[in-house]
Amino acid sequence: MTILILGAGQLARMMSLAGAPLNLNVVAYDVGSQQIVHPLTNQVYATTLEQAIDDADAITAEFEHIPDDVLTLCCNSNKFYPGKQAIKTGGDRSLEKALLDKTEVACAPYQLITEKAHLEQAVKTLGKPLVIKTCQAGYDGKGQWRLKSDDEINTIWAEMADFIASGTEQAPHTIIAEKMIPFDREVSIIGARDKEGNVAIYPLTENQHTNGVLTLSLAGKDNSLVESQATSAFTRIANELNYVGVLAIEFFDVQGTLLVNEIAPRVHNSGHWTQQGAHCSQFENHMRAVAGLPLGNTQIKQPTAMINVLGQEKIPNEVLKTADVTSHWYGKGVKPGRKMGHINVSGESLQQLGNRLAELTSCLPEQDYPGVLATSKSLL
């Protein structure tokens, strides 16, 4: 079978690696260059998108910011999963909030903003500080503002107005203001839903962000007090979208109550630990679901942490000497802060994982790999 993936980044690469043992051949559509490429080598194929759609047995996506005409072409083929509605919803925070309201899943209180008066209103009703986000753009915390005092309304509004003005009638740009949630921690749930509606969900993951970017994820702690809230949100949202594939939901944990931050209709950075930590990885499960194969086992094998490698040229050799460390490299050009790869590290127990993280702190400097030391201490 051939699977076409919209997007040719690291997620397509890892889906391709997971698909190979299932005899799934993966090709990727690079939305930027509008070329069909090999997801590992980036070799360009002499194929048009229309031809690739015809040739594919199933089509999926690695990200949600995909031009509408491309989505429509894929959708018309009747082999696109998780489908246009799910991708559109994940790529527009106003649609995402409407879905959460419809499925009665709690999220951060919000107000949509298209004019300055809405921003002033949001300051009054939601209170300060506010987190303000572009609805249709942004990832890794980009396209966001933090409003802490009334003095900032004018300057932030000026920047917001530029973004709104850059939208078109077909693709309007809007803004959302959210109450800044004083969370205790951030967690996410990743799961898969197949074409028959069967659902398989991974254990909850605890996530640390630094300047809006995920830096470390941890799976294997006892999260039994909040896990059912996360799985119930997952099932409601996945069923409502008649979802097929892997879906990720990010939450704020506020004293044991989970509020959704956002939804990603795809494999997700906070699920990378499943490559070594779970019986069947999120990448394999996404490939299985879209290919119409049975879902794999989402149970955890051993406590596992995932550390993102941001803006570094390589993973230090010392890291690879640590027991139960695996390297996942994306083969991209280096840029400051760019996600270049990740490391998964496992242990037979949380304590052993804590010890291994402690060992890693000698070769992973805190300024480049924040959270490793603190996580190790919390496990020992």
Which amino acids are annotated as binding site for ATP, given as ranges?
Answer: 93, 133, 138-144, 178-181, 186, 209, 261-262
CA distance 268 to 61: 12
Partner whose footprint covers residue 377, from ligand ATP, Mg ion, none (CB < 5 to 8 Å by kind): none
How far is 85 from 155, CA to CA, in rounded Å? 35
Closer to ligand ATP by Cβ: residue 347 or 370:
370
| Contact of residue 178 among ligand ATP, Mg ion, none (CB under 5-8 Å per partner type) | ligand ATP
Spatial CA neighbour of 59 closest among 198, 212, 245: 245
Min CB(122)–ligand ATP separation in Å: 12
Q: Please choose which of Mg ion, ligand ATP, none residue 140 contacts, taking the beta carbon within 5 to 8 angstroms, the exact cut-off set by kind.
A: ligand ATP
Nearest-approach distance from CB 303 to Mg ion, in angstroms: 23
* Residue 186 contact among Mg ion, ligand ATP, none, beta carbon within 5 to 8 Å by kind: ligand ATP
Footprint on this chain of ligand ATP (rule: CB under 6 A): 108, 131, 133, 138-142, 178, 180-181, 186, 209, 212, 250, 261-262
Write down the least CB distance from residue 213 to Mg ion, Å: 9
First-to-last CA distance in the chain?
A: 46
Binding partner of residue 131 among Mg ion, ligand ATP, none, CB under 5 to 8 Å per kind?
ligand ATP
CA nearest to 139, candidates 239, 30, 266 = 266
CB of 24 to ligand ATP, least distance (A): 26
> By C-beta, is 133 or 328 nearer to ligand ATP?
133
Closest CB to ligand ATP among residues 27, 273: 273
The distance of Cα 117 from the centroid of its chain, to the nearest Å, equals: 32
Contact residues: Mg ion, CB under 5 A: 250, 262
* Shortest distance, position 131 Cβ to ligand ATP, whole Å: 4
> Of 147 and 289, which has the nearer Cβ to ligand ATP?
147
Taking alpha carbons only, the member of 96, 80, 78 closest to residue 29 is: 80
Sorted by sequence, the CB contacts under 8 Å of residue 315 that are 6+ apart come out as 309, 327, 329, 341, 343
For residue 140, give every residue at least 6 positions away whose Cβ sits within 8 Å of its Cβ, in sequence order, or none: 212, 213, 214, 339
Of 153 and 181, the one with the shorter C-beta distance to Mg ion is 181
Which residues line the annotated binding site? 93, 133, 138-144, 178-181, 186, 209, 261-262
Q: Residue 53 or residue 131: which is nearer to ligand ATP going by CB?
A: 131
- Cβ-contact 361, 343 below 8 angstroms: no
Which of Mg ion, ligand ATP, none binds 173 (CB below 5-8 Å, type-dependent)? none
Residue 186 contacts residue 208 (beta carbons within 8 Å): yes
Q: Quote the least distance from Cβ 116 to Mg ion, whole Å.
A: 25
